[in-house]
Amino acid sequence: MYVAILTSKPHTDALRSETKPRHDAYWDKHLDRIKFAGPILSDDGQTRVGQVLLLDVDDRQTAERIVADDPFVQVGLFSSWSIQRFRISVRDGHLA
């Protein structure tokens, strides 16, 4: 498994709204590979500052390709992103 952490560029709400239908359609095709995903929020609980994805794939190249092909990434919503190998050690309150 690999975790992707993406950092949003500021002031991209309009571009995000415009691109969201393509983003959602893209990820709908990859739901079987996503363990969890969601926005990273600022302390106000509203402002999006990034995104995190846990991808159940066998290698870094596949994870990088999946993230790079996300329409949000392609239109430049993120200032940076990284992918690292990840192992779950706690699940649902229990050591894994």
Rounded distance between C-alpha atoms, residue 15 and residue 93, angstroms: 38
SS3 79: strand
pLDDT at 96: 84
What is the arrangement of strands in the sheet containing 78-85, beginning at the earlier edge strand?
A: 34-41, 48-55, 2-8, 78-85
Give mean pLDDT, residues 27-47: 95
Indicate the pLDDT class of residue 42, thresholds 50, 70 and 90. very high
Q: What is the mean pLDDT of the chain?
A: 96
In which residue are the tokens 């990434």 written? 73
pLDDT of residue 14: 95
pLDDT tens readout for residues 54-91: 999 999 999 999 999 999 999 999 999 999 999 989 98
Residues 6+ apart with CB under 8 A from 85: 1, 2, 60
**Which CATH superfamily includes the segment(s) 2-87?**
Dimeric alpha+beta barrel (3.30.70.1060)
